[in-house]
Amino acid sequence: MSDAIAFEAITKDFPGVRALEDVSFAVRGGEIHALMGENGAGKSTLLRILGGDHTPESGETIVAGIKVELATPHVALEHGIRVIYQEPNLVPGVSVAENLFVGRLPRRGLILDRRKLNAMAEREIERLGATFAPDDLLSDLSTAQRQMVEIGKALAANARILALDEPSSSLSSREVDHLFSVLRRLREDDVAIIYVSHRLAEVMTLSDRITILRDGRHVGTVETAATDEQALIRMMVGRDVDRLFAHTERDLGTPMLEVKGLTTERIADVSFSVRGAEVVGVAGLMGSGRSALARAIYGLDPIVAGSVAVDGRELAISGPGDAIRAGIALCPEDRKRDALVLQRSVAENVALTSQGRLARFGYIDRGREAELVDSYVRDLRIKTPDRDVLVVNLSGGNQQKVVLARALAMRPRVLILDEPTRGIDIGAKSEIYALIEELAASGMAIVLISSELVEVIGLADRIIVMRDGSMTGELAGATVTEEEILTLAMVPVIAPVIAPAALDITA
């Protein structure tokens, strides 16, 4: 097997941050090569260099033995390189077929040859083993199906090098299985596959070799068969992460958050309470109403019926401002969409909801602001050169910490965390877990929404399970098993005919 793509001494700088330093490794044809590392390790930057989206400061990229300057995405495509980023790169308003062959649509004279296009698309879809049709509108497809279209697009362009950035992060386990079988088939066809993932288990089953980056540097490339998860974690973090969850006994306080019969357009009759120093987990499949519950409490969705009380006082919540004043803080699920102002500094982002406290007659006391921000940068170990760096230049894990810092800076009584560790590496995860424990111990009431069951079980004192907008059960802490949660989260298998469709959790 020869090297399909080799990186040699790649270095890349961003304003204020060196993203990659002297990184060299190679990927063979017919190999699934996993790329791992914590957030900020440089994985995404490397993919962007491969895709011609970023130009390195120095170093070389060698495609099939020939030195190539991947100056633009177009050049990368011409060399058979296809990078599938986390953000989909598809046209939602047109058909699958047109998406597959965009830029190379077959024509008869000036007119699109739709019959030929659909036939071509049919072949690609078959190759993928996908279930959609060529003339399905892309916007009607699920996330998983769209990902298949992305891969199909790469194959239709005869990609010899395929790189995927966290492709499994929004897929169900069944969809992940399908993705894997497609990738394995591509491996048979001698395609070189670079697979970026945080999920150790996935990487262990799928990949042939694993390259680990840490702080922008190449730590090592290992044969998957010759390593184990512990060794990988050590390489990624640079130290042992022996126990992720250190559950401590806490004395629960009085009920801090009480939700009674809460009903909105998306949830129905949800009741639960959280005591001081308690962590209540909310589990459920995607679209089960987990996040809608958070939105309702935080005043983002109009409340149709029911009540929310903090510290025994019922609230009239008509917007986030009311929730904030009542001492409720929310860390939303999608940090880039809902939380961060990327083009502003770390300081401004952290202080955004606490400005009132830092200002007199609207004039911000910069000294006090700096003190506040620096204390959170220190406590949460936000990796940033200084507080004036734009948030856009931070890695995902550190961005998430900025969101957390903003919520904590409000000194909330109730903290709602919606997927606090999504897309975050294991090192940052363990830090956030420890932080949640610490905050609870300080008497805060915490609602933890997560699709990672291990996390919910490991951290929560009690777990609420949701399905189709309703609560289906409440389970008590440490003894809960994943099976118990899943049983409550999924549609009971009474009507086997409709069950599989309903399980297709892509809403």
Partner 1 sequence: MSSAPPATSRTRRPRLQRLLPPEQRGVLTALIVLCVILAIASQYFLTPANIANLLVGVALVGIVAAGETFVMLSGGLDISVGSIVAFSGVVAAIVLTATHNAGAAVFAGVATGAVSGILNGLIITTLRINALIVTLATMSIFLGLTYIVAGGKAVGATDATFSWLGNGNVLGIPNPIIVLVLVFVIGHFVLAYTTLGRNIYAMGGNAEAARLSGINLTRYRIGLYTTSGALAGLSGVILTARLGSGQPIAGAGVELTAITAVVLGGTSLSGGVGSMFGTALGVLVLGTLSNGLILLRVPAFYQYLTRGAVLLLAVGLDHYRGRISTIMSRRTSR
The tokens for 449 are 């929404």
Q: Which of residues 50-109 bind partner 1 (CB under 8 A)?
A: 55, 57-58
Closest distance between partner 1 and the C-beta of residue 287, in Å? 20
SS3 94: coil
Q: Which of residues 208-237 bind partner 1 (CB under 8 A)?
A: 215-217, 237
Q: Which of residues 311-370 bind partner 1 (CB under 8 A)?
A: 319-321, 323-325, 330, 332, 337-344, 348, 351-353, 355-356, 359, 362-364, 366
HEC states along 418-462? ECCCCCCCHHHHHHHHHHHHHHHHCCCEEEEECCCHHHHHHHCCE
Cβ distance to partner 1 smaller for residue 57 or 269:
57
Binding status of residue 238 toward partner 1 by CB under 8 A? yes
The span from the CA of 73 to the CA of 83, in Å, is 9
Residue 70's identity, in one-letter code, is L
The span from the CA of 407 to the CA of 426, in Å, is 22
The tokens for 8 are 């040699």
Q: Which of residues 365-424 bind partner 1 (CB under 8 A)?
A: 366, 381, 383, 385-386, 388-389, 406
Cβ contact 235:219 at 8 Å: yes
**Member of 3, 8, 9, 18 binding partner 1 (CB under 8 A):** 18
The phi and psi torsions of 8 (rounded to 5 degrees) equal -130, 115
Find, among 201, 210, 135, the residue nearest to 168 by Cα.
201
The tokens for 46 are 């490397």
Binding status of residue 427 toward partner 1 by CB under 8 A? yes
CA-derived radius of gyration, the chain: 24
Binding status of residue 298 toward partner 1 by CB under 8 A? yes
Cβ distance to partner 1 smaller for residue 217 or 266:
217
How many residues line the site for partner 1 (CB under 8 A)? 57
Cβ distance to partner 1 smaller for residue 11 or 86:
11
The pattern of x and - marking residues 461 through 490 that bind partner 1 according to CB under 8 A reads ------------------------------
Angle at the Cα of 505 (from 503 to 507), degrees rounded to 5?
Answer: 135
Query: Which residues contact partner 1 by CB under 8 A?
Result: 11, 13, 15-19, 21, 38, 40, 55, 57-58, 215-217, 237-238, 298, 300, 319-321, 323-325, 330, 332, 337-344, 348, 351-353, 355-356, 359, 362-364, 366, 381, 383, 385-386, 388-389, 406, 427-428, 431
